[in-house]
Structure formats: C-alpha cells, structure tokens
C-alpha cells in the first residue's frame, strides 16, 4: 500500500504545482479538481470514507463549479 | 510519508500565494493549503491494519482508526468551500471594478485614484 | 528575485514542519487518544464499552458511524458553527453579488443536456437524500448529501435558462437552521443541556437509531443543500 | 445557560435571512436580550454542550474573564445597533452572526471550537470589509485570513496530538514536552492576522478604508477586543505565559512601524487604521511583559483604545470634512484623539502612565522608549488632523449630516473617556477582573475538568 500512497502523493504534488503555475485559469482549476480527486483516493487509503465522500462532492465537484462559474462571469480566460 | 506530501503541498500553496500575480491564483493557493492541512490531519489518525470507523457487518466490533481527526476535517472542508465561494464572488466584484485581476495593475489603478 | 525569496521562505517553512516530525508518531502507528477511545466505545459517560454491531442497545449514542456520532452528537456544537460558516458565506455571496442582473445566455442550452438532466435530476436528488438519511450508518451524511443536491440544482440552472430559485433557498436554509437550533433548545428544555440527545438511541446499525442524530443530519442536509444552491444561484445569475 | 448568548443571535440570524432588510429592527432587541441574559448569569460556571463532560465534549466556560469580556463586546454591539444609520442595508444579519460568533469565541473552552468561531468571525468580517464596494481589500483580507486560519488549525491539531484532547484546560495540564513551542508558534501565526501584529497586518488600512463607517468601527472595536481576549486566554491561561517574549518583540515592532506608517498617510481613516495597528502592538507587548499587573494594564489600555476608536472611526468615515458645521462631533473627535495620544486628564493618559510605571519597575526600558517615541509621532499626526479639520474652510461637495442618535452616542462615549481619565476605577475594575480570570490557571482547570 505504501507504494500506491507515494505514487498518489507525487501525483497530488504535481497537479498542485500545475494548478499554481498554469498560464490559463481553466487549466489551473482542472488541475485543482484533479488534485482534489487524488486526495479523495488518499483519504480512502487512509480509511476515511466519510471525508473522502465529502471531499469528492465538495472539493472536487462544487468548488470547481464555483470557480468556473466565477470565471465565466468575467468573460472566460481572456485576461 | 504522507506527512511529507502534506508539508510539500503547504509549501506549494504558500509559494503560489507569494509569487503569483493573478488573484485567482491566490484563491487556488488557499485551496491547496486547506487541502494539505486536511491530508495532514487525516494522516495523523491513520493506523495501519485498522478499519474505517463504522460499525457494520464487516467490522462488528471496534478495530478502528482514530475517528476524531476525520470529524475535524469534515468541518474544515466545509469551512474551506464557504471561504472559497465568498472569495470567488469578491473576485467578480474586483474584476468589475478594476477590469483586471493582476495585482500590479490593480495597485497602479489604486494609486491613480 | 521575488521567486527566489519565496523559495527560501517556503523551504524554511517546510524545514520547520519536517523538524516537528520527530515529535509526531510514525505514520501508520498513531495511538488512539483517550478522547477517541471513549467515542469509539461510546463510553463518555461511563456506561458503554465493547460495542457490537446489531446487538448493543441503548448506548449513550447509537450511531453506527463513529465519525457521524462525533460530528452530530459529541461535537455537535462545532457542526452548528460549521453550518453557520456556510450560512454566512452564502449570505455574503448574495450581499456581494447584489445588484448584478441576470443576463440570458446567447445560445440555448444543449439538447442532450436538457434531456439528460430530466432523467438524471431525480436520481441525483434521490441519491443525495439517501446519503444524508443514512449518514449515521454509512459514510456520508448531511454535507455530501446536501452538496449532491446542490449539484443537481446547478444542472437545472445549466439546462434551463428560465429556471430561477429566487428566494426558496433562503427560506429552506432559514427554516432548517432554526429547526436545528430548536432541536437543541428542546434538549435544553427537557434536560437543561443544549443539544442533548434526548431520544432513545436504539440498536447500533438500525435505520431508526441514534436518537436525534439522523434528524439533525437531515436538517443539515437540507441546510447545506439550500446554502450551496443559493451560492450557485447567485454566482449563476448573469451567466 | 451561557449557550443562549450564542444561540439567540444565531436563531435570529437564521430566521431573518429571507427578509434580511428587516433584520435591522430586530438587531437592537437581540443585543439587549443577550445583555440581559448576561447580567442574569453569574460568573464561574461551565456548560457542557450536549451533556458530554469536559475533555470529551465542548464546554463553554464563563469565568470572570469571559464574563467581563462578554460585557464589553455586547455593549459595543449595543452601541452600534443603536446607530442603524451606519449599518449598510442587509448587513444586520451579518452583525447578528458576528455577535453570536464573538460571544462563542469568548465563551468556548475548546481549541477546535475556537477555530470554528474564529472562522465565522472571519467570514463575517470579510463581508463587512466589503461593505461599500471595497472588494480588493476584502479579498486580500480573505486570503490572509484563510491562510492564517489553516495555521491555527495546524496548531490545534498539534495540540491534539500532544495532549490527546482538544480541551483548553486539558491542553494546559497535559501537553507533552516539546509540543508547546510548535503549538504556540502556529497559533500565534493563526491569530496574527486578526490581532493585527506586524508582518500580517498589511490588510488593515485597505479594509478599514472601505467607505462605510461600519467596517472600521466593528472590526476595530468589538472584533479586536474579542481577538485580544482569545490571545490572553490561549497564551496566558493555556500556555501559562510561555512564548510571550517573542510576542513582546513583535509587539514593539508593530508599534514603531504602525506609527511611522500612520504619520505618512494623507487620509484620516488610513492614519487611524495604522494607529489601530500600533495600539494593538502596544496592548500585546504590555500583556507580554508578564505578570498579573501587566495583563491588567494591557486590557485597561485596550478598553481605552476601543472607546476612543469607536468615536474616531465613526467620525472619520462619515463627516471627515470639517467640524465647524458639526461641532458636537468635532468635540467628541478631539476628546477621543487626545485620549489616544495620552494627553493628561484623558483616559489614554492613565493607561499609558500605568504601563510606563510598570515597565520601569520591571527594569524594562525598551517598552518605555518605544512608547514615548510612539506618543511623539502620534501627537504629531493627531494634532495635525485636529487642526486641519477644525480649520478647514473647504465645505466639500458631499455634505454628510450626522444624525442626532449617532451624535448623542459619540458624545456619551467621549464624556466616558473624560470620566475614565479622572476616575479610572470603572475600567480598571473590569481589566482587573479579566486579568484575574486569565491568570487563575488552577481555578480554570478545576472549573472545567472537575476536581483533579
């Protein structure tokens, strides 16, 4: 299990770095969503199903939706 | 192990906050820091070989990881999304007022006023 | 230059945290704290211990999901605060975005989206409801359940440009939030303690068990669903 | 029963959310109700929420410190609720929530619960910071507050690992060796943003200059007091004065930099915002001198500061054009500003004098030097602003009138400042009670955990 944990962890860090450094906002949000999804996986490995399901619904789903809606209101990725 | 992941993620979040000029990225960094803290807290409750803290057919008697950190993280996640939504709506207003989300451009516009 | 200084700061921060590792227990071999021990054995008031699924009866807390029993019973006051954070945030979103008019989309929503939402929406709502009704037995509960319902509402917004909830979320969240507090106040009236679990707790694992826990979690589900739907609705106006 | 102080405003907030415009009528009633309940309660009681006893559940602790802090905070809210003109449309519900959360923050005896209330306070504060179209300041505040909140949470979780519980009393007794410095540092960063300490106070001037008088008034008085109470509760009652040396240094830096920045401002409200930072630094560094007297005088000065700031911020945000047309407000402003400098006969003089005497008696010359330096700078810009405002001939285009009830309240507070300057006993008694409650570790622990 440790191998999987490390692999997921590295993926999380990579997607976080991508979310921070991405040039386009939408890419950044997608990377953030990906990070959340991978975190869900990590939570499942660590035997926290309650947290995992909440993170999946809230962190990966709704948070991204909120960000994208806000971005849409500013006229997309133009800036 | 997971500790290191959480610490590096906190670092990535703070780094993004310090270097990025787009305000949206600040919000993204904040979310990353929140997630990192959540991972850290959950990892502090994990015990190898034990099960998820739910009494069920498969675990009829207690053989559980620490449930309290999980309860705390549940709270923290919801607080995080509340802050995120409020931040996003503030950003819409920032964009409406200044026409940009770049920190430096906003600073020059502020100075002009 | 800025980048370099930031890297130095971040590096220092990470080093600080890594230094604290010597104090922390090794990953995977944490000791369960005395508080969690009591929560798991449902033994805070000293008459629990050795809980067994489908057998133990009338414990101080009857929720099979220990995390739920902490969130909605042992540390219910935190959850009230947490719901309030979300409530305040939703209120803030509506205050901040106040005055933005709703604009119509330039083009009509996709046909596939419209049709599939009609099929999916009842399922999504049903799933969300299932999750928060079974919060005390299975993983999940009011927060994810409410969020799933809010996601359904978001789909409705995306598929139907005429759709508007207007003030419904505000009423639902106001009423469910008040009922949460009223549940607590009933405990205050009966036993003199706010938020006390005053109903019989039943057998661990039954649907009708755990006293006020499922009731409160359903209220939280409605409240969270309404709050997040409110946030989505406010953010979606104008489009 | 102390839970009612949190529940009633919260319930009112929930009920009035669909009609948030109407909530302004209920706000004064709710605040008066909480004040009456508070006066009916007797100090020295703990309430276990849900009936779960101390280290397991959440307890609300009402001792002399929290009792008098609640009194101060609720009176501040009462004064603000009696001035509905300064509350923006629809913001009364936010104030109700803020009242609930500040009361909760003062009452709670649990570190994670205090994090939750801190977040409610913070979210309400972000909204208030936005008040009149000030999104950028509010956003900056939100990001800083969010990150510091994460640090607070980390501190709480380290305390949990080091103690096995989240209860303040339990942490103060049972924390394992080595955890204290980490927890203290993380918590200090965690409340650094709200308590306006030096490297984390950058948001203050942007936020206070929101254009609405509500923002600086509520954040600079009620919320500041609550956070300072929380600081005392954690660093004095829980950590027994550990880490205060570091806070002292940061406090001094905050004073110096805050005053220097205030001098350079050409906008009154920004100058006052920096002055507010500096005063927070002074309070923190006084408390950090250590010992009962220091804590007492620190809170005494805090009380003086928030009384003065209440008057100054309202006037600065509404009629800061000239005083010749608003003589009563002008007089109140001058009184409050003289108190801020520490002019003899005004309240601020009393507290600064006591602080200086105390520092000398402890052979600490650093604090007096900094305080005197700060006072000179403060006098310079306060006098400059007084002269400017009394002699300004520029009537300006926007003539804002100040209504009679605001004027009356400002005058009452100003008279109170003079009264305290002559008979300081009223405030000193309060500060003494707060210091009593904070320093009486043993009573706190037995109160919460029962006989140990």
Q: What gap in Å lies between CA D431 and CA D299, rounded to an integer?
A: 5
Q: What gap in Å lies between CA D416 and CA B100, rounded to an integer?
A: 47
Q: What is the pLDDT averaged over residues D251-267?
A: 88
User: Which residue of chain A comes nearest to B101, CA vs CA?
Assistant: A79
Rounded to 5°, the CA angle D140-D142-D147 comes to: 100
Q: Which chains touch D (3 or more CB pairs under 8 A)?
A: B, C
Q: What is the pLDDT averaged over residues D132-148?
A: 88
Tell me whether A74 touches chain C (CB under 8 Å): no
In sequence order, the β-bridge partners of residue D48 are: D59
pLDDT at C107: 57
- Residue A15 falls within a domain, yes or no? yes
* Residues lower than pLDDT 70 in chain C: 99-109, 166, 238-239
Chain A (9-68) residues lying within 8 Å, Cβ to Cβ, of chain C: 48-54, 56-58, 61-62, 65-66
Q: Taking CB atoms and an 8 Å cutoff, what residues of chain D touch C69?
A: none
- Residue A13 falls within a domain, yes or no? yes
Q: Assess contact for D65 and D32: CB atoms under 8 A.
A: no
Q: What is the pLDDT averaged over residues B47-53?
A: 85
> In chain D, where are the structural domains located?
4-449
Q: Could you tell me the pTM of the whole model?
A: 0.93
Question: Which one of A47, A69, A77 makes the best mutation probe of the B interface by having the most chain B beta carbons within 10 Å?
Answer: A47
Q: Taking CB atoms and an 8 Å cutoff, what residues of chain C touch B15?
A: 6-7, 10
Q: Contact A65/C232, CB-based, under 8 Å? A: yes
Q: What gap in Å lies between CA D451 and CA D59, rounded to an integer?
A: 16
Residue found by looking up tokens 């700061």 in the block: C9
**Long-range contacts of residues D15-21, Cβ cutoff 8 Å, at least 24 apart:** D15/C174, D15/C178, D16/C174, D16/D92, D16/D93, D16/D96, D17/C87, D17/C91, D17/C170, D17/C173, D17/C174, D17/C177, D17/D93, D18/C167, D18/C170, D18/C171, D18/C174, D20/C91, D20/D90, D20/D92, D20/D93, D21/D89, D21/D90
Q: What gap in Å lies between CA D232 and CA D238, rounded to an integer?
A: 9
Q: Taking CB atoms and an 8 Å cutoff, what residues of chain C touch D17?
A: 87, 91, 170, 173-174, 177
Q: How do beta strands D59-62 and D45-48 pair?
A: antiparallel
pLDDT at A79: 47
Q: pLDDT band at residue D395, thresholds of 50, 70 and 90?
A: low
Q: Which of B33, B82, B96 sits opposite D150 (nearest CB)?
A: B33
Q: Contact C77/D50, CB-based, under 8 Å? A: yes
Higher pLDDT: A1 or D166? It is D166
pLDDT at D36: 92
- Residue A78 falls within a domain, yes or no? no
pLDDT at D229: 93
Report residue D406 as tokens.
């605001």
Q: Contact B55/C205, CB-based, under 8 Å? A: yes
Q: What gap in Å lies between CA C219 and CA B3, rounded to an integer?
A: 36
Number of helices (H) and strands (E), helices first, in chain D? 20, 2
Q: Which of C140, C147, C151 sits opposite A50 (nearest CB)?
A: C140
Distance from CA of D339 to the nearest CA of B (A): 32
**Percent of chain C at pLDDT exceeding 90:** 4
The pLDDT tens digits of the residues spanning D339-367 come to 888 888 888 888 888 998 998 888 888 88
Tally the C-alpha atoms within 13 A of residue C113's C-alpha that lie toward its C-beta. Answer: 12
Q: Taking CB atoms and an 8 Å cutoff, what residues of chain A touch C147?
A: 54, 57-58, 61-62
Answer CATH for B2-112 from 3.40.50.620, 3.30.365.10, 3.20.20.70, 1.10.287.3510: 1.10.287.3510
Concatenated DSSP letters of D207-234: HHTSS-THHHHHIIIIIHHHHHHHHHII
Q: Contact B66/C96, CB-based, under 8 Å? A: no
**3-state SS string for D296-346:** HHHHHHHHHHHHHHHHHHHHHHHCCCCCCCCHHHHHHHHHHHHHHHCCCCC
Q: Taking CB atoms and an 8 Å cutoff, what residues of chain C touch B19?
A: 2-3, 6
Residue D63: closest CA among D71, D73, D53, D55:
D71
- Average pLDDT of chain C is 81
pLDDT at D452: 46
Buried/exposed code over D260-277 (b: 16+ C-beta within 10 A; e: otherwise): ebbeebeebbbbbbbbbb
The pLDDT tens digits of the residues spanning D360-392 come to 888 888 889 999 999 999 888 888 888 887 876
- Average pLDDT of chain D is 86
Angle between helices D292-318 and D404-422 (to 10 degrees): 150
> In chain B, where are the structural domains located?
2-112
Q: pLDDT band at residue B33, thresholds of 50, 70 and 90?
A: very high
Question: Which one of C6, C26, C85, C89 makes the best mutation probe of the D interface by having the most chain D beta carbons within 10 Å?
Answer: C85
Distance from CA of A64 to the nearest CA of B (A): 10
Q: Assess contact for D38 and D9: CB atoms under 8 A.
A: no
Q: Strand, helix or coil at D157?
A: helix
The pLDDT tens digits of the residues spanning D262-319 come to 888 888 888 889 999 999 999 999 998 888 889 999 999 999 999 998 888 888 877 6
Q: Assess contact for B33 and B14: CB atoms under 8 A.
A: yes
Q: Strand, helix or coil at B47?
A: strand
**Percent of chain A at pLDDT exceeding 70:** 94
Q: What gap in Å lies between CA D236 and CA D299, rounded to an integer?
A: 13
Contacts of A14 (CB under 8 A, 6+ apart): none
Which residue range is the domain that position A39 belongs to? 2-73
User: Which residue of chain D comes nearest to C71, CA vs CA?
Assistant: D57
- What is the tally of structural domains in chain A? 1
The pLDDT tens digits of the residues spanning D156-172 come to 999 998 888 888 988 88
**Structure ipTM:** 0.93
Q: What gap in Å lies between CA D389 and CA D384, rounded to an integer?
A: 9
Higher pLDDT: D54 or D228? It is D228
């Amino acid at each position: 299990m440790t191998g999987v944990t490390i692999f997921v962890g590295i993926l999380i860090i990579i997607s976080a770095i991508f979310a921070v450094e991405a040039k386009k906002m939408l890419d950044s949000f997608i990377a953030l969503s990906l990070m959340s999804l991978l975190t869900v996986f990590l939570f499942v490995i660590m035997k926290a199903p309650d947290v995992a399901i909440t993170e999946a619904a809230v962190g990966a789903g709704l948070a991204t939706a909120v960000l994208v809606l806000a971005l849409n209101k500013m006229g997309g990725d133009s800036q | 192990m997971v500790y290191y992941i959480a610490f590096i993620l906190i670092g990535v979040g703070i780094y993004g906050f310090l270097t990025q000029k787009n305000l949206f990225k600040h919000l993204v960094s904040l979310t990353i820091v929140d997630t990192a803290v959540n991972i850290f807290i959950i990892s502090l409750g994990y015990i190898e070989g034990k099960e998820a803290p739910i009494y069920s057919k498969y675990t009829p008697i207690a053989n559980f990881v620490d449930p309290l950190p999980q309860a705390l993280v549940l709270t923290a996640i919801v607080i995080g999304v509340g802050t995120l939504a409020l931040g996003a709506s503030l950003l819409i207003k920032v964009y409406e007022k200044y026409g940009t989300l770049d920190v430096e451009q906003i600073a020059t516009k502020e100075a002009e006023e | 230059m800025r980048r370099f200084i930031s890297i130095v700061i971040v590096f220092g921060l990470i080093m600080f945290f890594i230094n604290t590792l010597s104090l922390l227990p090794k990953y995977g071999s944490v000791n369960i704290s005395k508080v969690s021990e009591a929560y798991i054995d449902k033994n805070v008031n000293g008459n629990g211990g050795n809980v067994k699924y489908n057998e133990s009866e009338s414990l101080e807390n009857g929720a099979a999901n220990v995390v739920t029993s902490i969130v909605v019973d042992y540390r219910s006051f935190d959850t009230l605060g947490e719901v309030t954070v979300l409530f305040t945030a939703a209120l803030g979103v509506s205050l901040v975005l106040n005055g933005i008019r709703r604009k119509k989309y330039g083009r009509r929503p996709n046909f596939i989206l419209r049709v599939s939402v009609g099929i999916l929406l009842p399922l999504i709502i049903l799933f969300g409801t299932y999750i928060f009704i079974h919060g005390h037995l299975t993983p999940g509960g009011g927060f994810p359940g409410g969020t799933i319902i809010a996601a359904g509402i978001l789909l409705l917004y995306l598929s139907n440009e005429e759709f508007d909830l207007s003030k419904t979320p505000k009423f639902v969240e106001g009423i469910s939030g008040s009922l949460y507090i009223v549940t607590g106040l009933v405990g205050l009236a009966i036993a003199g303690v706010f938020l006390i679990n005053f109903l019989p707790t039943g057998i661990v694992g039954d649907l009708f068990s755990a006293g006020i826990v499922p009731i409160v979690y359903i209220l939280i589900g409605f409240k969270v669903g309404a709050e997040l739907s409110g946030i989505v609705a406010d953010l979606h106006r104008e489009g | 029963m102390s839970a009612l102080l949190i529940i009633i405003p919260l319930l009112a907030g929930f009920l009035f959310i669909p009609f948030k415009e109407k909530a302004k009528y209920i706000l004064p009633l709710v605040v008066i109700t909480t004040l009456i309940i508070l006066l009916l309660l007797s100090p020295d009681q703990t309430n276990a929420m849900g009936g779960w006893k101390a280290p397991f559940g959440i307890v609300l602790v009402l001792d002399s410190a929290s009792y008098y802090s609640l009194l101060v905070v609720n009176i501040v809210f009462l004064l603000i609720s009696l001035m509905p003109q300064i509350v923006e449309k629809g913001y009364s519900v936010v104030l109700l929530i803020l009242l609930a959360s500040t009361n909760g923050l003062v009452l709670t005896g649990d570190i994670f619960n205090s994090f939750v209330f801190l977040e409610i306070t913070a979210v309400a504060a972000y909204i208030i910071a936005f008040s009149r179209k000030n999104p950028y300041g509010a956003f900056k505040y939100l990001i800083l507050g969010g990150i510091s909140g994460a640090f607070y949470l980390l501190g709480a979780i380290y305390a949990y690992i080091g103690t096995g519980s989240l209860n303040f009393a339990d942490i103060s007794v049972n924390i394992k060796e080595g955890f204290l410095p980490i927890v203290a540092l993380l918590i200090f960063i965690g409340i650094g943003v709200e308590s306006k300490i030096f490297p984390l106070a950058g948001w203050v001037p942007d936020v206070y200059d929101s254009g609405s008088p509500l923002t600086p008034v509520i954040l600079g008085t009620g919320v500041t007091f609550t956070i300072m109470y929380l600081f005392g509760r954690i660093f004095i009652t829980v950590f027994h004065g550990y880490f205060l040396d570091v806070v002292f240094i940061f406090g001094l830096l905050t004073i110096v930099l805050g005053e220097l920045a205030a001098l350079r401002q050409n906008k009154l409200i920004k100058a006052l915002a920096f002055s507010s930072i500096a005063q927070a630094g002074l309070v923190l560094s006084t408390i950090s001198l250590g010992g009962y007297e220091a804590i007492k005088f620190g809170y005494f000065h805090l009380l003086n500061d928030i009384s003065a700031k209440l008057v100054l911020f309202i006037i600065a945000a509404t009629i800061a054009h000239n005083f010749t047309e608003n003589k009563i407000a002008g007089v109140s402003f001058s009184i409050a500003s003289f108190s801020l400098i520490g002019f003899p006969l005004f309240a601020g003089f009393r507290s600064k004098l006591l602080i200086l005497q105390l520092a000398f008696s402890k052979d600490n010359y650093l604090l007096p030097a900094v305080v005197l330096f700060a006072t000179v700078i403060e006098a310079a810009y306060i006098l400059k602003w007084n002269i400017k405002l009394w002699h300004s001939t520029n009537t300006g285009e926007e003539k804002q009138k100040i209504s009679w009830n605001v004027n009356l309240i400002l005058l009452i507070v100003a008279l109170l400042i003079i009264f305290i300057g002559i008979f300081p006993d009223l405030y000193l008694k309060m500060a003494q009670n707060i210091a009593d409650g904070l320093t009486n570790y043993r009573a706190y622990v037995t109160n919460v955990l029962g006989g140990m």
